[in-house]
Structure formats: C-alpha cells, structure tokens
Amino acid sequence: MGIPFRAMKVGWAFFLVAAIGLTAGPLSGQKSTTRGLNLGFHLQGASLAVQDGDPDGGGGAGFRIGYGVNRIITLYFEADGVSVDSEGSDEFQGTWTLAHADLGVRFHFASTLRSWVPYLDVAIGGRGASVKDIIVSGEEGTDVSFSGGAFSFGGGIYAYFKQTLALDVGLKFSGGKFTEVDVGAFSVNNLDIDANSTRFKIGIVWWP
C-alpha cells in the first residue's frame, strides 16, 4: 500500500495553497526564525515493510520538541504513532500499531529574510510495533509485539505564516531491525528482522 496517495495529494495541495498565500504579501514583512525552543504537531501517512515484504500503510499523528542552537542546527525529540491495517496473506492477518521515538538533528537552509526554509533531518531512536487481533490460518491467536533500533533520515520545508509560526511538510525514511519479539508472556531476543518505514508529515511548528 505504501504511503497513502490521497494523503500525499491533499498534503501537497494544502502546502501549495499556503505557500501561495504566504508569498502574496510584501516579502519585507515575512521573516522567519529557527532559533530557540520550538514545538510541533503533525498528522501523517506511513507505511511499514518487514523482511522485504510488500508495505502496508495507515495514518496517525505525532509531536516534536526542539531547540535551535543557531539558525542552521536544531536538536529535537520526536514521537509518532500510526495504525497500520494489514490484510497480509491468507495465513496471517492483523492490525499493526507502529511507534517511532527519534532523537535527531535538523539542518536548516535558513535566511531570516525568507518566508520559507528547507531542511534535512537525521535521527537515531527506537521503533516498536504490536499486532492486535492477530489471525493465523483463519484462527485467532495471541498479541505479538516487536521492538528494535532505527536510523532515520529525510527532509522537508517550513512555510511561515509569521515569524514564529510555520506550516511544516516533511518526508522521513527509517531503516533498522526488530531485535526483540514478545509473544504473550514470552520474550525472544537477539533476532534479526529487517524493517523499513516511511512517514509523510504535515503539521504546524511554533517558536514560543
């Protein structure tokens, strides 16, 4: 399924309308900032692929807390949650809940005289997935959860409504492995399950 195409189309349409509106006024009155404490909230479409399987997609939300040490570099913590509906195969079906927790650095291509600022992201963190209402070969089974580390990278753009408030549109890719699986009361460690996820985000960021 990948990233929901409808969410991408709506997101980019929203972004373009906002960007046109922002550039309609005098540029001298539309400055931007990337310094200091900033808070963000976003909606997202996401996908998850395990062991080179076909990706399944869903939607969710997240938040970010950051601190801009200068115009270029912002350190941040970000947490995301997504519900992924998977029909899987005839043997395996279930509903995934996917969570990311990222500690990252955002690099801005910033100018205080512009009302738009592109950026790049790199982050490390943890990723977990749980499967509820699992069905194996047509019969209900127990809940299963997976966890492991992840490395993420991506990019995006801010489009400023005013100096301290901006629309944030970004795309982030995460790779890594699920190394631990919990099945009911049992836990298995030192596993090596490849997992790749993609997150397309649309949100608001504010510098209080």
Residue 115 maps to which CATH number?
2.40.160.20
Domain assignment present for residue 58? The answer is no
Domain assignment present for residue 16? The answer is yes
Domain assignment present for residue 59? The answer is no
pLDDT band at 19 (very low <50, low <70, confident <90, very high): very low
Beta strands in 109-185 (DSSP E): 116-136, 139-140, 144-162, 165-178, 180-183
pLDDT in tens, 158-173: 999 999 999 999 999 9
Residue 28: pLDDT over 60: no
pLDDT band at 189 (very low <50, low <70, confident <90, very high): confident
Mean local confidence (pLDDT), 68-88: 87
8 Å CB contact between 186 and 168: no
Nearest to 146 by CA among 179, 185, 124: 179
Domain assignment present for residue 57? The answer is no
pLDDT band at 185 (very low <50, low <70, confident <90, very high): low
Domain assignment present for residue 183? The answer is yes
Structural domain for 86, as ranges: 5-52+64-206
Domain assignment present for residue 131? The answer is yes
Amino acid identity at 125: G
Overall domain count for the chain: 1
DSSP bridge partners of 81: 61, 99
Residue 51: pLDDT over 70: yes
Percent with pLDDT over 90 in the chain: 48
pLDDT band at 27 (very low <50, low <70, confident <90, very high): very low
8 Å CB contact between 129 and 148: no
Q: What is the pLDDT of residue 91?
A: 41
